[in-house]
Amino acid sequence: MTLKPSIVEGPLNGVTVVDLTRVLAGPYCTMVLADLGARVIKIEEPEAGDLARGIGPFISGKSAYFASLNRGKESIALDIKSSDDDRRIFEALLDNADVLAENFRPGVMKRRGYGWETLQLNYPGLICVAVSGFGHTGPCSSRPAFDMVIQGMGGLMSLTGQPGGPPTRVGTSIGDITAGLFAAIGVTGVLYQRERTGHGTFVDIAMLDCQVAILENAIARYAATGSVPEPLGSRHPSIAPFAAFAASDGHIIIAAGNNKQFQILSGVIGRPELALDPRYDNPANRVENVEDLQRDLEDGLKTQTGAHWLQVMEEAGLPCGPIHNMEQVLNDPHVRARNMVVEMDDPAAGRIKLAGNPVKMSCFDDPSERGPAPDLDSSREHLLAELGISA
Question: pLDDT tens-digit profile of 311-326?
Answer: 999 999 999 999 999 9
Question: 205 near 137, Cβ under 8 Å?
Answer: no
- CA dist 319 and 55 (Å) reads 38
Whether residue 287 is found in the same domain as residue 367: no
At residue 67, φ and ψ (nearest 5 deg) are -60, -35
- CATH number of the domain within which 187 lies: 3.40.50.10540
Cβ-based neighbour number of residue 362 at 10 Å: 4
Containing domain of residue 357, as a range?
16-214+338-387
On whether both 307 and 351 belong to a single domain, the answer is: no
- Are residue 162 and residue 297 in the same domain, yes or no? no
pLDDT digits (tens, 9 = 90+) for 174-201: 999 999 999 999 999 999 999 999 999 9
Nearest to 321 by CA among 250, 273, 263: 250
Q: Give the side-chain half-sphere CA count within 13 A for 261.
A: 17
> Strands (DSSP E) along 121-186, which ranges?
127-132
Residue type, 114: Y
In a domain, 237, yes or no: no
User: CB–CB of 266/318 below 8 Å?
Assistant: no
Reported pTM? 0.94
Q: Does one domain contain both 42 and 180?
A: yes
Question: What is the spatial order of strands in the sheet that 369-370 belongs to?
Answer: 350-355, 341-346, 369-370
In this structure, the answer to whether residues 197 and 247 fall within a common structural domain is no
DSSP state of 88: H
Q: Which CATH number characterizes residue 296's domain? A: 3.30.1540.10
308 is known as an active-site residue:
no
Residue of 236, 251, 324, 334 marked catalytic: 236
Q: Are residues 288 and 362 in the same domain?
A: no
HEC letters along the chain: CCCCCCCCCCCCCCCEEEECCCCCHHHHHHHHHHHCCCEEEEEECCCCCCHHHHCCCEECCEEHHHHHHHCCCEEEECCCCCCHHHHHHHHHHHHCCCEEEECCCCCHHHHCCCCHHHHHHHCCCCEEEEEECCCCCCCCCCCCCCHHHHHHHCCHHHCCCCCCCCCCCCCCCHHHHHHHHHHHHHHHHHHHHHHHHCCCCEEEEEHHHHHHHCCCHHHHHHHHHCCCCCCCCCCCCCCCCEEEEEECCEEEEEECCCHHHHHHHHHHCCCHHHHHCCCCCCHHHHHHCHHHHHHHHHHHHCCCCHHHHHHHHHHCCCCEEECCCHHHHHCCHHHHHCCCEEEEEECCCEEEEEECCCCCCCCCCCCCEECCCCCCCCCHHHHHHHHCCCC
Q: What pLDDT does 267 receive?
A: 96
Verify that 317 and 258 share a domain, yes or no: yes
pLDDT tens for the 391 residues of the chain, in order: 344 544 789 999 999 999 999 999 999 999 999 999 999 999 999 999 999 999 999 999 999 999 999 999 999 999 999 999 999 999 999 999 999 999 999 999 999 999 999 999 999 999 999 999 999 999 999 999 999 999 999 999 999 999 999 999 999 999 999 999 999 999 999 999 999 999 999 999 999 999 999 999 999 999 999 999 999 999 999 999 999 999 999 999 999 989 999 999 999 999 999 999 999 999 999 999 999 999 999 999 999 999 999 999 999 999 999 999 999 999 999 999 999 999 999 888 899 999 999 999 999 999 999 999 999 999 999 999 999 998 7
Q: In this structure, are 317 and 342 located in the same domain?
A: no
Q: In what order do the strands lie in the sheet with 320-322?
A: 242-247, 250-255, 320-322
Q: Are residues 73 and 155 in the same domain?
A: yes
Where does a domain end: 275, 298, 326?
326
- Residue 353, domain member (yes or no): yes
8 within some domain: no
Alpha-carbon gap, residue 126 to 102, rounded angstroms: 13
Residue 96 sits in the same domain as residue 170: yes
Residue 219 DSSP SS3: helix
Q: Is residue 282 part of a domain?
A: yes
For residue 256, being part of any structural domain is answered with: yes
Q: Is 7 inside any structural domain?
A: no
- Same domain? 257 vs 355: no
**Same structural domain, 47 and 158:** yes
Q: For the CA atoms of 147, 150, 154, 156, what is the dihedral angle to 10 degrees?
A: 30
